[in-house]
Structure 1
């Protein structure tokens, strides 16, 4: 049967070719995604309610999460993409506090499972992994080394409704979800090092240091918000970690309490009435008391003051979550929005002492995914429409809120352990004389505090 044999041979060859093409197109391993971001605002009406006159609450972010255009941005994707399905984990948390602590809710380390044009959003809710929303209406795109979904509609699940303690019902629309992740490159071959070169021991000349600083959360929110309608860019070696900016190539001298380190890089903020570039910061400390200065409009300005001792950890001189306050000289830099002594974002200073020392990782936002048209519904849900009409759909009185959150319905999301008011509250409101209207950078939390309870391993 030569004819049948030829057909069988052709089919075998075709199958081999298809298999080869699939192997060529598919990622190299099951853990092949690294670097990316997930943007999700939870629900606009919920955010408005938390900070409104009834809940009188606060929202803060941490572990590298940040706010971008009203959404919360989670970073450092890891996971897999195979056969048109993406399973991706992200890092960071957002914390909601209100009603004098009776509303105490943390959403952390979201993950998505997405195939074709539908999927599921999972979130750690006060430490418990919860299928929060069903996703759909947008296709999973894989091109240019990036896997992404733009503007997927999110529908609250029954478990998600329980996480809100009955605040919303299953089936209600949440804010849309967008996410991206980069396909990891194959690991490069490494050469055996000759001799372990070292950066000088403490007290000598050092190189390769980094400093991380987010300026101030409320400043970033203002620049990217509706009023300034702006953005920021990094250049000359600076890197954007979402909630912090990293300036690298730090060189100088360093001991535990006395150090002078000059870094490279620029972060530039632009928008309506905003034009600010912070370039080549220098960190200087004597007996642990220091300042961070930078070039601003051609002049070096002391921006923030701090107190920090560098501690040797794993071959790195390190100071983390160092509180900072604005200097008098820096008040004009921010147009008087902040006053001298106001808290700014914390610093991280890391100085490698050996060539193989590992510096703290910067949150990895991955590549910008290409814009994708989506089929997500543009219809406005009933509760959002009523908000636009001036009627708040979340009319909780304080007694009602307390009853809901402390009653049997709230048991499914038992709060891990309520922190003291001083620990849970974001940074202080602007001091007297600081503009407080919505068109100014309000205090919005530094993101430098320890993360709320979460049982997911980092």
Structure 2
């Protein structure tokens, strides 16, 4: 046998010997402390808010309540829930914890006609899941998986992702795969001495996600950022225009005067459209009086703009025809959600402005409600070919707008952007032709009573979350068996295994060098 052949065999034998020594020491240690395989745990607390946007939806638009019981509590200002007196075991071989918690949570809305109770909440770091018993309509389903968890060693602020089962429990298909609130599991009371140290689940770096703050519905939360893209001209919205125009372009338009036509493109908020059509509301969106909606539960276009402008003073005031109705939560012909927006107006003054509408909700009408504050990218109002175009105007919901949407979104939430085009002379051509020919039709509906359709994408039910409803989180870091806790395993065994690992590393390096 050549020297070249013998060296890998010798190195392999060394590795096997080191690993065997580590395994022998580990087996000896575990045998000498048999009770350390499953160390009893007690006095733990679990804090999880499900999803901030869901909490906002329940207490806002649904006019519902959360009622903790049997030791569970809820933080102030509609905050997260804490379940107490957690007991279970720590597996010192797999380095995982399994805990069950005391407390229940009743979630109910008479307006939107739902009632459910969560109890027997459990956290299993090996499975990387949160489960609970769910009671609805008098029937209880045990151990329903509500969220996948990205487990960290500290077990604080762990990222969660809602499951398809959670989407069914909470009544929205858009919740499946959506980011939930972060999860924290901590020890709150002293525990009797045991040979193990505090349970460790993984040596992977902690992932500390921020809780979503948008009123999904999310929230997401989070401070919510609008997830809808600017509508294309084929959807009846405006194209981006150059911020400046040549003298020949602007010379034909007076510096001030009357607006002869115009279109306003606005989707309200993509998450709200998703909520109505594909979410909890299981409803429909209907446009009328000349307004249209783009295909695929897209944005709305309001038409026949009229008003005044002054390019020297940098002011514009325009009103638009058309209405859009959001209807859902039907029960025997009556609706818990019946909201109509009409007579939309946009005003701009030196780069800032307001978006107003007449709001009719469940038969009550309020005129000229300021729904959003507007901010343009540029202060200058520039006419090109007798048309002023403003694209991607930032819209932020006002306190009055939040109230109009049943506190579905907190004040300051960013809504879908506004696209605005107005003609300054008869015959001036607006972007996209007449601004509505490519849309779904003035009286079309979106969604019908599909309830579970997945034709639209975007934020989660309740408008809370920003971004996509799908997350890239992976659960179960502790399930890999990484992260040996020296205190629980035994110092001698840990040192021996570490020595074996060092030999393996050395062999890898030598092979690389060779």
Short-chain TM bin? 0.3 to 0.5
TM-score between the two structures when normalised by the length of structure 1: 0.40
Larger RCO (CA within 8 A; separation ≥ 6): 2
TM-score between the two structures when normalised by the length of structure 2: 0.35
